[in-house]
Amino acid sequence: MIINSTQTGNFSKPAPEIIAEKLLTWFNPAARPMPWRTLDPEGPLPSAYGIWISEIMLQQTQVATVIPYWKRWMKTLPDISTLARAREEEVIKLWEGLGYYNRARNILKAARFICTHYKGIFPKHPEEIIALAGIGRYTAGAICSIAYNLPCPIVDGNVIRLLCRLYALSIPAATASSKTSEPIWQLSAELVQSADKIHHPMGCSFFNQAMMDMGATLCTPQSPDCNHCPLTKLCSAFQQGNPLDYPLRKSAPPLIRREDIALYCRDSKGRVLISRRPPGVRNHGFWQLPMLEEIKWEAAYHQFAKINLILGKGLLCKVSHNITRYQITVFLYPGQVDGKLSLDENLRFVSEEELKALPVTHSHRKLLKKMEEKLF
Ligand code: SF4
């Protein structure tokens, strides 16, 4: 259900071509510089590969955080063929710290598919792009519009907020931040198609990027900067004096607390015992200190004993972090081997140098850093 409050007020729906014109005029020079962007309207369009990587990295991550990751990635894996030949561990290492590691695995999978089916050239048709691993409707729209200047719509949290305010649309709280709101997709399509009709060499590319920038810099969730917005005269929420009423806010679900226990064990050469997370779990393939999830010390002691590890008493340190709806605290205790521990490719002792080259989960990097500070 979607409610258009302008239907009952005196304010008429602004014409999409006027909105498109205003946003294109605003975008350049107001655009945020980003290394994957081309801001010269006469210049070549940016590469689809670079836009693809940037869009996947930007999911749940701020632009400022993504920039160094993107630069490092493009330097190491400058094209799709190089990426397709890379080992998964190398790709994950480049992604380390960004989280949601399946995104990186899907990129690798898609790159290999592109090499097999499209001779290493990123496809151009939206239906081919959306069929690639890890690419949804938003990302396909972003790549098609930004890199190929096609009139393809985009809808994310920023665009939902901007369009809901612009047209005074109220949508149910449950869908306010999702990408499933069909009326918003329709509006977004109408707007980018209007941008396509304007005489501008990068109309669709710049228009969609303008919507992204507007939502991120001016039409922000808590304090929209309407005084500097090019759309004030067209904006229903501004005219009504209540931009913060759109879209309806979603109440965040309460966090579930979880406690994990990790074990810190060094051998006679000072090497640290680490284990690899198994397939089928979050962050699989990543390394960490041996750990048991959602457990108390006594139960952990018995579980570790089954693989010949002795969990000691006396907390060494702890770290807390949030993942989706969980607030997780990892408690680190000293540990020893009882002499019969069987090491293999998923459980081994590594030196400091070896550890630096391996992908390690963010929370366990923090634990290791704390231990390094304690010991040296
Ligand atoms: S006028 Fe204000 S509420 Fe309306 S689009 Fe601009 S920043 Fe957002």
**Per residue in 226-270, pLDDT tens?**
999 999 999 999 998 999 989 875 556 788 999 999 999 999 999
CATH number of the CATH domain containing 262: 3.90.79.10
Residue bearing the CA closest to ligand 1, atom 8: 219
> Same domain, yes or no, for 193 and 299?
no
Report whether residue 26 contacts ligand 1, using a CB cutoff of 6 Å: no
pLDDT tens, 146-192? 999 999 999 998 999 999 999 998 876 555 445 557 889 999 999 99
pLDDT per position as a tens digit, 70-94:
999 999 999 999 999 999 999 999 9
Asked whether residue 109 falls in the same domain as residue 25, the answer is yes
Residue 162 in contact with ligand 1 by CB distance below 6 A: yes
Q: How many structural domains is the chain composed of?
A: 2
Residue 251 lies in a domain: no
Record the pTM. Answer: 0.75
1 found inside a domain: no
- Shared domain check, 307 and 230: no
Burial of 136 per CB tally in 10 Å (0-12, 13-18, 19+): exposed
Closest to 121 in 3D by CA, of 87, 73, 79: 79
Q: Is the domain of 153 the same as that of 33?
A: yes
Query: Which structural domain, as residue segments, surrounds residue 336?
Result: 256-375
Q: Residue 262: phi, psi to the nearest 5?
A: -115, 160
In angstroms, what is the span from residue 125 Cα to ligand 1's centroid?
Answer: 33
The DSSP bridge partners found for residue 263 are 333
pLDDT of residue 6: 45
CA–centroid distance, residue 54 to ligand 1 (Å): 26
In a domain, 2, yes or no: no
Given 194, 220, 245, the domain boundary residue is 245
